[in-house]
A and B are shown apart, each in its own frame.
Chain A
Amino acid sequence: MIASIGLEVHVQLRTNTKMFCGCPNRYGGEPNTHVCPVCLGYPGALPVINAEAVRLTVMTGLLLGCRINLKNKFDRKNYFYPDQAKNYQISQYDQPLCEGGQLEIQLKDRTKIIRITRIHLEEDVAKNTHFGDGSGIDFNRAGTPLMEIVTEPDMDNEDEAFAFLTALKQILAYADISDCNLEQGNIRCDINTSVRPTRESPLGTKVEIKNMNTFRGAHRALAHEIQRQIREVQRGRAIPQETRRWDDDAGVSSSMRTKEYAHDYRYFPEPDLLPVELTQTQVDTWAALLPERPPERRERMVRDYGIPDYDAGVLAADRAIADYFEKAARLSGKGKAVSNWMMSEMMRLLTATGQEIGAVKITPEALAALVALVEAKTINQPAAKEVFAVLFEQGGDPQQIVQDRGLVQVSDTGAIQGLVDQVLRENERSVQDYRSGKEAALQFLVGQVMRISKGKANPQLARELLLKAIGS
């Protein structure tokens, strides 16, 4: 059996104000404090389109290689549910802003193209809170700009769906289209899944899973749903067209409604809004301001800095991290060395302290200077690690930290020779071990030199002098 998965991804746009009124588009805040007659659905209150929301949606379309429909319009989607007060949601039905397009996703050993069907703009709905004896409605989110990205059923399994969501999030974050904060519900998706015997058979009956707000949850829900459908089919049962709800804690899905109760939204053109007619010139102006996308940046960073493809992929995944890396790499001229620090100590400390790269105390200038100190053999690797930790915690100038802590590497042959002689005297046993063929004994002796030098000796030099003294 083969699964086919299509996604409808809802993205909250990063605007100052709501889609059709001047209320703030801001998460949090006391309930019903970002509201006005338009987003509360008062009769007679007239919506006006937020130009920035249109621009962000067109930018998304351009990033995903969509056709931009210069002429488009808004429609009413009619339904009764207390998540909005008008009994309709303003959306785009038959003339969305963007159509067609694609997104390349990164799988373990290959890439794959997922086709985009359309992207349209609509308004988000209010938030419902359920109390024991009734429900509460908070309209702060009602009317905030929501972009819906619909894909073709091109994904074969939960890993591909996960890769799609990840790649989409990267691009949206890159272009500042959305804050992409999953905890705040900035990206939510509905999943359509069906199964069929072979790739040649027609698509099976699709089941929709509503309102997934984490990528991991979507992954788990899909893994479960695909297996459920395959079991049903193997038992000779038909899959009914239905909408299901996923309970991530319990790891089960349950039916919400079947086709008989499917909504008939009676879409019609929104008479309160005028049609939108963009000019090609305007779209071209926006296109000229598109940021480099993560896959291209990854390739360019491999070329420009000579770093491995894997490292470039990790660094390019986050725009702020890639910006930081490139700045430090350009300043230092040693891309590989900077990349090594980023991939190891920086990532480790960011994760350990839960910090964002934008807020770290170690500046790209300081990292470049640290790389220069290592390159000039002023400090050795263990000392550099210590300096990095200090920079990460307190910031400052690496040169100063090296001086304050007395970390300058001892590369003076005379001084190290003294230490080597002492170590050889105190460790005759190891010297014999080495002479009788135990290679590891040499490393132990180097370690002893480093220890009595308090980490300051140049380890290469210590090794050379030891070898000279004990032969071979």
Chain B
Amino acid sequence: MDVNANAPASPEKIDVAYVAHLARISLAPGEQELFQQQLEHILDHVNKLNELDVSGIEPMAHAIPVKNCFREDVERPGLAHEAAMRNAPEERHGQFFVPRILE
């Protein structure tokens, strides 16, 4: 696992073209500029939180103070094969058949 690959870009500026590439979304002409504005607006809004003094407040990993939700290691019935395959665009040899995967 390459931890550095996840280094965030500047938190203020959002690179819409890059984010679109990561999300495998192709943008129509003009959309990049439009989304740039809209997303920066959202970021500005969220950045207001930075104005709060949170020193001395312990960060929470979750919005509700609940932890340790585990399940016992016991088998439970899942989906029958036919039911699972009902959402397959195409099926071959019992598998979901998709366009050829390239590395």
Contact = CB atoms under 8 A, between A and B. Distances in A.
**Does A pair with B?**
yes
Interface of A: 8, 15-17, 21-24, 30-37, 39-40, 48-54, 73, 78, 80-82, 91, 93, 128-131, 133-139, 148, 150, 245, 256-257, 262-267, 269, 271, 273-277
6 contacts: A35-B78, A50-B71, A134-B97, A135-B99, A138-B94, A256-B103
B75 A22 contact: yes
A50 B70 contact: yes
B1 A276 contact: no
Contacts of B71: 22, 48-51
A51 B69 CA distance: 9
B6 A276 contact: no
Contacts of A150: 1
B2 to A, nearest CB: 7
Interface in B17-75: 22, 24, 61-62, 66-75
B66 A274 contact: yes
Contacts of A30: 81, 94
Given A35-B79, A35-B84, A36-B76, 5 more contacts: A16-B74, A30-B94, A34-B78, A49-B71, A80-B24
Given A138-B95, A262-B2, A49 B79 contact: no
Given A262-B5, A276-B67, A269 B94 contact: no
Contacts of A139: 84, 96
Contacts of A39: 78
A58 to B, nearest CB: 13
B93 interface: yes
A36 B95 contact: no
Nearest to A208: B2
Given A50-B71, A52-B73, A54-B70, A73 B61 contact: yes
Nearest to A40: B84
Contacts of A80: 24
Contacts of B81: 30, 32-33
B74 A17 contact: yes
- Of the listed residues A134, A271, A276, the one surrounded by the most CB atoms of chain B closer than 10 A to its CB is A134
A277 B68 contact: yes
Nearest to A80: B24
B100 interface: yes
Contacts of B99: 134-135
Given A22-B71, A81-B101, A32 B62 contact: no
Contact of B96 (A32, A245, A274, A275): A32
B72 A51 contact: yes
B101 A48 contact: no
A248 B59 CA distance: 48
B92 interface: yes
Nearest to B96: A137
A51 B76 contact: no
Nearest to A46: B69
Contact of B95 (A53, A81, A129): A129
A168 B90 CA distance: 42
A131 B90 CA distance: 13
Contacts of A91: 1
A265 B66 contact: no
Contacts of B3: 93
A77 B94 CA distance: 28
A16 B69 contact: no
A150 B1 CA distance: 8
B100 A275 contact: no
